[in-house]
Amino acid sequence: MKELSFFRRYVVPCLIGFMGSTILWAILTYITIYWVDLGFSHLQVGILVAVFPLVSLVLMIPFGVFVDRIPPKRLIIASQFIFALSIAGLMTTHEFWPTMLLLAVGGAGNALFNNALPSLFYKTLGTSVRGLKLGYYTAGILVGYGLGSLAGGYIYTSFDMNAIFIFALIGTLPMLLLCLLLADVPGTRVKLSDYRADLSNKTVLVFVILVFAFSLHAGAEQSSFSLFLNKDIGMDKETVGWLYFIHANFMAILSIVSGYYADRVNSRGKGLAILYYIGTAVSGLTNILLLFTTNFGNVLATRLTHAVGDSLTLVTRSLIVSNLFVATRMGGNLATVQTTVTLGTLCGAVISGAFTGYATGFAIAGAAAILAVIYALLAKPEF
């Protein structure tokens, strides 16, 4: 990949990740409020939120194998058309079952995108300062997460949810143009037995357990956090957007710092485990603390502390992935990690929807993350 410019190799994937995250979170941050306002029950909202990761759960590993065998660039472009079809459909329906079907279509597009883009980035990552590169990639996604939530809040307040859907559809056009600049990495023939060998050792299994436990809180965030801020804390939609924006951008800065520090630890031959454990434990503890927040200041302080844990966990996890798996089989192996993330998100969404109180799911997820860290300390994986 030496002939690729720095811009095409590193900047373009980061920009696409940023734009994809902006579009996705402009929708996801407010769609639960939109559904509640339409008259859907909390359980129905939890089910709808769970559909998105459930479809990803089913399709992520097959998509991962495709990413190794088919040039990822083509699959990234295809994912944008699939996702746009889902958004266009959501604009036209207000019923539960059609909404579920359209979310399934969107989940398929999102699963393909979430495997193909990072797999392509890993395949062109190189061997130097990988943590810092992954930190910038993560930061781009996080800035998009915050900006999408902020923009969505203003759009929703000024207009309605359909305006957010239109914003998302318009945003896919520049993304498609950027996709044309991506590296065209060729596919390779990979045996399924090679994936099995990669995934069968103790270190990978412990890693998967940690990934699952950490990902539970993502389901709570998607199904309940905006509702918690809007209904329990009493924030309007614009304030909800600002909280997401501040949290995400603080987390983005910390991701770059985490990437730099993780490179230093990794280059000295020391294990990344302690960084990963600290990040996961801090994330879990601050999720539990949401039970005791009562106003904007409390929530902001808790979420900024939470950002420290999340950023350290996400960047360190990405670097661990690049250490554990070879580039030619990254699609299938990364799909296993992404499937674990999706399964954790799905379980977190269902748990959050099933229990009374919008903050309860966060507390359960936080306790699970801390228990997973204790288990990993006892198991001693080689990170």
* pLDDT tens digits along 267-304: 776 678 999 999 999 999 999 999 999 898 999 999 99
* Dihedral of alpha carbons 64, 67, 72, 75, sign: negative
pLDDT(69) > 80 = yes
**What is the rounded average pLDDT of the residues 351-358?**
84
Residue 41's pLDDT is 87
What pLDDT was estimated at residue 270?
Answer: 64
pLDDT at 48: 87
Residue closest to 37 by CA, chosen among 205, 181, 162: 162
327 confidence band (pLDDT: 50, 70, 90): confident
Q: Which residue has the tokens 């270190």?
A: 203
Separation CA 182–CA 16 (nearest Å) = 9
Tell me, yes or no, whether 145 lies in a domain.
yes
State the pLDDT confidence band at 342, using cuts at 50, 70 and 90: confident
Q: Which candidate, 360, 315, 345, places its Cα nearest to that of 28?
A: 345
Report the C-alpha gap between 265 and 35 in whole angstroms.
Answer: 45
Asked whether residue 26 is assigned to any structural domain, the reply reads yes
Cβ-proximal residues to 293 (8 Å cutoff; 6+ apart), any chain:
233, 299, 302, 359
- What is the per-residue pLDDT for 367? 97
Claim: this prediction has a pTM higher than 0.85: yes
> Which pLDDT value is given to residue 300?
92
Q: Does residue 42 contact residue 350 with C-beta atoms inside 8 Å?
A: no
Asked whether residue 1 is domain-assigned, the answer is: no
| Average pLDDT of the residues in 353-366 | 90
pLDDT at 222: 79
CATH code for position 233: 1.20.1250.20
Question: Are the beta carbons of 342 and 113 closer than 8 angstroms?
Answer: no
Flag whether 152 is in a domain: yes
Neighbours of 35 (CB within 10 A): 21
pLDDT at residue 237 in the model: 81
Mean pLDDT across 76-96: 94
* pLDDT of res. 84: 95
How high is the mean pLDDT of the chain? 90
- Tally of domains in the chain: 1
Domain assignment present for residue 191? The answer is: no
Residues in the chain: 383
- Give the domain range for residue 372: 6-186+197-379
Is residue 351 situated within a structural domain?
A: yes
Q: Which residue has the higher pLDDT, 136 or 56?
A: 136
Best-predicted range by mean pLDDT among 48-52, 308-312, 327-331?
308-312
Report yes or no: 338 and 115 within 8 Å, Cβ to Cβ: yes
Cβ(134)–Cβ(319) under 8 Å?
yes
The average pLDDT across 309-335 equals 91
Spatial distance between the Cα atoms of 123 and 76, rounded to a whole number of angstroms: 14
Q: What is the pLDDT of residues 165-191, one digit of tens each?
A: 999 999 999 999 999 999 888 878 778
**What per-residue confidence (pLDDT) applies to 191?**
82
In a domain, 290, yes or no: yes
pLDDT at 127: 81
- Domain presence at residue 192: no
Place of tokens 């969107």: 106
- 120: pLDDT strictly greater than 90: yes
At residue 2, the pLDDT reads 54
- Judged against a pLDDT cut of 80, whether residue 4 lies above it is answered with no
